[in-house]
Amino acid sequence: MAVTTTPVDDGAIDGFGEGLHGELLRPGDPNYDETRAIWNGMIDRRPALIARAMGVSDVIAAVNFAREHDMLLAIRGAGHNIAGNAVCDDGLMLDLSTMRSVQVDPEGQTARVEPGATLADFDHEAQAFGLATPLGINSTTGVAGLTLGGGFGWLTRRYGLTVDNLRLVDIVTADGELRHASDDENPDLFWGIRGGGGNFGVVTSFEFDLHEVGPKVLTGMVVYHGADAPNVLRHVRDFNETAPDESTVWMVLRKAPPLPFLPEDVHGEDVLVVVPFYAGDMAAGEGVLAPIREYGDPIVDVVGPHQYAEFQQAFDPLLEEGARNYWKSHNFSTVSDDAIDTVVEYARDLPSPLSEIFFGQLGGAMGRVPADATAFPHRDAEYGMNVHTRWEDPADDDRCIDWSRKFFDAMAPYATGGVYMNFISEDEGEEALAYGTNQQRLAEVKAAYDPENLFRMNQNVKPAR
């Protein structure tokens, strides 16, 4: 087992730990291995220290300690992290997972959220009042990481990205100062936070706008045999081109999982899962989504009224922690016939039963925001594709990663050239694709608030010089 060391003397470490309201963990301490583990099982790093923050004062102390002792600093929110930037070797890991409160103001329709909260935490509180904001599609995802990368899901076409619904944040910057950022206060910092990742500090509180959603929504799945995928994909694409903002239809190609509503004889077979979602009046949604449900010869149709919070957890069993994950991403202005032919070809050769390719429909309200209004630049994307390669045996690493890279390259000619930051697995130059035309301004904001690049365990933006 590797021995983790730090150049900081024990006296300084002891003083740091004594000043924390939360715990300070070292290798060998109880809960050390549990705390350093994150959702992606490929990541196995050993920090020299783990500071488990209980509040803002602990965050300030950790940022100051890392800066003063020149320690590599990693920030862990809810730990649902693909690239592994939430944990580092030999440095200081700041663990925010115990800071997970969600406070809803039902009259003002806002929510104040701490950085360790998950989507499930958020939805549990907000749906008590029939409210929601656009988030992701897996309830174990952390609100903080999702938001800092942009954030999209079922409600994006009607209400925009997660960052489009962000009102203000409290953030500890590299100098250890707690700052407020909004359109009116530190607006340059607020601009950068909305899609610039963790480059500018540690957000200790987010405030979001909420919207009336649910508690029941019209949604579910229509599952087709893999052989039907070429025609169904084209049909869904054509339907989406004129669908209203309330309608969102995603497409997923994978091996059929052993879900209870699927016949046993299709388990493990190639399938296309069409996922329609209607964020509006249920009766109106039935009419709008009828062309999706009436097309072709599906294996099963389980579209109907579902509790919104429950549907947010519908895909959790397929995304449990501990598996090995390597993701790639492309944005598309449309899914052309050639792109469909290519994706169908690669879907026939998925490298593992857990892997999948999904196209999340975007556009709508998201696309009506100018590309330079927030750090998230990809307002022209009508679809976001996730090459979601997932497996369990480390012996399959090379084969699965190689498949993912080849598929990513094969789809590049049909894509916009942009990628979604939260779907980047490693530093292969994709940061430039994630930040696009906003890269230079991000570098200038970075120079203003983190000139020494203390916050570099992220999809990093180098400070402008």
- What confidence score (pLDDT) does residue 106 get? 98
User: What fold is seen in the domain 216-423?
Assistant: Vanillyl-alcohol Oxidase; Chain A, domain 3 (3.40.462)
Q: What is the DSSP letter of 156?
A: H
pLDDT per residue as tens, the chain (465 positions): 344 445 788 899 999 999 999 999 999 999 999 999 999 999 999 999 999 999 999 999 999 999 999 999 999 999 988 999 999 999 999 999 999 999 999 999 999 999 999 999 999 999 999 999 999 999 999 999 999 999 999 999 999 999 999 999 999 999 999 999 999 999 999 999 999 999 999 999 999 999 999 999 999 999 999 999 999 999 999 999 999 999 999 999 999 999 899 999 999 999 999 999 999 999 999 999 999 999 999 999 999 999 999 999 999 988 889 999 999 999 999 999 999 999 999 999 999 999 999 999 999 999 999 999 999 999 999 999 999 999 999 999 999 999 999 999 999 999 999 999 999 987 766 778 899 999 999 999 999 999 999 999 999 999 998
216-423 has the same fold as 102-213: no
**What span, in angstroms and rounded, lies between the C-alpha atoms of 30 and 347?**
43
Tokens 């979602």 correspond to 277
- What confidence score (pLDDT) does residue 6 get? 58
φ, ψ of residue 438 to 5 degrees: the values are -95, 5
Residues 6+ apart with CB under 8 A from 326: 42, 389, 390, 400, 401, 404, 425, 426
Q: Find out whether 278 and 254 touch, Cβ atoms under 8 Å.
A: no
Amino acid letter, residue 234: R
- Cα angle for residues 143, 145, 147 (degrees, 5° grid): 65
φ, ψ of residue 15 to 5 degrees: the values are -65, -40
Q: What is the DSSP letter of 464?
A: P
Q: Find out whether 136 and 154 touch, Cβ atoms under 8 Å.
A: no
Q: Give the closest residue to 360 by CA, choosing from 289, 284, 292, 276.
A: 276
Q: Find out whether 137 and 153 touch, Cβ atoms under 8 Å.
A: yes
Q: Find out whether 57 and 100 touch, Cβ atoms under 8 Å.
A: no
Domain 102-213, CATH: 3.30.465.10
**Ranges of each domain in the chain:** 10-95, 102-213, 216-423
Q: Find out whether 278 and 285 touch, Cβ atoms under 8 Å.
A: yes
Q: Percent helix, strand and coil across the chain, each rounded to 5?
A: 35, 20, 45
Structure tokens at 76: 């862990």
Q: Which residues are 390's β-sheet partners?
A: 325
- What confidence score (pLDDT) does residue 3 get? 40
Element containing residue 73 per DSSP (H, E):
strand 73-76
* Other residues' Cβ atoms within 10 Å of the Cβ of residue 403: 20
Q: What is the DSSP letter of 85?
A: T
Q: Find out whether 70 and 128 touch, Cβ atoms under 8 Å.
A: no
User: What fold is seen in the domain 10-95?
Assistant: 3.30.43
Residues 6+ apart with CB under 8 A from 33: none
- What confidence score (pLDDT) does residue 297 get? 97
Counting Cβ atoms within 10 Å, is residue 375 exposed (0-12), middle (13-18) or buried (19+)?
buried
**What span, in angstroms and rounded, lies between the C-alpha atoms of 304 and 189?**
42
DSSP annotation string for 56-109: HHHHHHHHHHHHHTT--EEEESSS--SS-TT--SSSEEEE-TT---EEEETTTT
Q: Find out whether 272 and 255 touch, Cβ atoms under 8 Å.
A: no
- What confidence score (pLDDT) does residue 433 get? 87
